[in-house]
Amino acid sequence: MRQLRASGQKSGHDYDLAAAVGQAVGNGGVPGGEVLRRFAETIIKGDENQLARARNSVRAAFGDAGMVDAAAIAAQFDALDRVADATGMYLDDAALDDTAEIRATLGIDKFRSDDV
């Protein structure tokens, strides 16, 4: 998360990661951020009718290529998570320490985890 904050500082953008998990109103400083968050949430829910509407919203905001990019990024995150779960990968102590504040702030530790 430090890298995201650092890239925001370098680019002059102020990103609000709380918007990414629905804890803040608005786009989080990302153009079209609300549309992208709703798209990601809809993918997780898996309702085909809602997903068709969400795809159309992404297309309206970013065009066909943007919708394909957003879908590919969502699929890649899912794939990476599955690889980590399947191989038993975990965050080491340094990563846990480095991300403790941001995980607590965003409530990330409340998300489903299969940690032993």
pTM for this entry: 0.68
Nearest partner of 34 among 49, 24, 46, judged by Cα: 24
User: Residue 80 corresponds to which amino acid?
Assistant: L
pLDDT tens digits, 38-94: 898 899 888 999 999 999 999 999 999 999 999 999 999 888 878 888 898 877 888
Contact between residue 106 and residue 18 where contact means Cβ atoms under 8 Å apart: yes
Check if the beta carbon of residue 66 is closer than 8 Å to that of residue 59: yes
Segment 8-51, tens digit of pLDDT:
667 777 776 766 777 767 777 778 888 998 898 899 888 999 99
Rounded to an integer, what distance in angstroms lies between the CA atom of residue 84 and that of residue 81?
5
Q: Are 26 and 16 in contact (CB under 8 A)?
A: yes
Here the tokens at position 111 are: 């998300």
Residues contacting 67, CB < 8 A, separation 6+:
55, 58, 59
Contact indicator for 36, 70 with CB cutoff of 8 Å? yes
Q: Where are the domains of the chain?
A: 2-110
